[in-house]
Structure 1
Amino acid sequence: MSPISDSDLNGGSSRRRRFDPELHQMVTNRIFQNVQSRLRLDSIDDYTRERLQAFQPTIAEEMYAILSDFYRHMTQFPQTRKFFVNSDINVLKTRQSQHWQRLFSAEFDREYISSAVRIGLVHHAIGLPLHLYLSGYNRVLCDLTTLAIHHYAGSLASSDTVNAIIKVVSLDMDIAISCYFLAENLRLKSDDPTVGLV
């Protein structure tokens, strides 16, 4: 689930595809149209935003350590290590840190949606299986909730912040899953001119 640049699409797995800017624009538009209803459905309200913004400085302080642990863990396994072969881990840490900071700013504007969609589509394009992508989310989510519990020492703010973290990480995961399904659906339609014909 680490942000990967367009340049990381070169070489490696035979399943890798070129990043498609038109697909990125199409999926961004589709998701952005529905983001407000998703926020309401997930109860991401003003109080949720306040909790995230209050916790954002703590995340900024600890994110490098969390991401260092994340990459150390993910590069232990052959099925995930191969996706980092030609990548600069420090660059990936910087990009991923920027993504998490954008998420926890709780703006959920078009810039955030566009960034989240780009990340989802690039991971789809390099052929990263969805279950491995979600495993990465799980790893960081556990670390972030543990950080909140320790930071607030079991107070009400701890519970509310953990709830806020789960809500927005779930939203980010939802966008990633949507990218996979939309990209695959649109790819199949473009490959088969009969799809969608009555």
Structure 2
Amino acid sequence: MNDEARSLQREFFRIDEDVIDRVQHLKSRLMKYAETALETVFDHLIGNPDVAHYFEITDNITYLRAGMLAHCDELFSARFDEHYYEATEGMGERHAKLEFPAHVYTAAYSNMFARIVELAMADRRSFKTDDITALSRITHYDIELSMGAFYRHIMDKRAALSSDAQKIRHLVD
């Protein structure tokens, strides 16, 4: 996707200069909330029988926590540059390689977003409606990009496997 298409995509999500400025201004608070929110995200994942085995391994959580915080740092910088788009593509690809159902990622993301909002509203300097709206716009955009990459990588893998299967059938027949 070229820069013009990405710009139109952000425009469709109503990510304008006000949204970008607002999120950039809130970044230090958002990062603090994200660190705290990750605790409940991992607790929730550990409690899910479909994925608990993966999240019971401390090294996996350490790796994922660092990756998620790095991605939050990138997202809350709201630069939407090539580095950001590469990061969302990479995140989708890594998720696809784990082969968990898509709802695991969207639920974890949704739960983290909800926890960040809860923390922001409980803070003595609670968020304004425009702050929540800005955060909502960029996080929905981010999940769209990440899950789009997730599905692209799954489809590419299936296409490659199908192609390999056809080659094998051709050799056997």
Structure 2 length as normaliser, TM-score? 0.83
Between the aligned residues of both structures, percent identity stands at 19
Q: Structure 1 runs of 4+ off > 4 angstroms?
A: none
Give 1:71 deviation, angstroms: 1.0
Partner deviation per Cα, 1:52-78 (whole Å, 9 max, x = no partner):
011111122232221122112211222
Q: Matches of 1:69 and 1:34 in 2, distance apart?
A: 36
Q: Are residue 161 (structure 1) and residue 131 (structure 2) matched?
A: yes
Contact 1:51 1:161 in 2 (8 A): yes
> Unpaired segments of 5 or more residues in structure 1?
1-29
Match of 1:170 among 122, 140, 147: 140
- Larger radius of gyration between Structure 1 and Structure 2: 2
Structure 2 stretches lacking a partner, 5+ long: 167-173
Q: Any residues of structure 2 matched to 1:31-110 within 5 Å, and which? A: 34-86=5-57, 88=59, 89-110=61-82
Aligned length: 162
> 2: CA distance between counterparts of 1:80 and 1:178?
21
C-alpha RMSD of matched pairs (Å): 2.1
Task: String of CA shifts for 1:115-171, please: whole Å, max 9, x gaps.
Answer: 111111111111011011111011011012223333443xxx610111111111111
Q: Give the aligned partner of residue 129 of structure 1.
A: 101
Q: Which has the higher helix share?
A: 2
The normalised TM-score by structure 1 is 0.73
Does the alignment pair 1:180 with 2:142? no
SS of residue matched to 1:79: coil
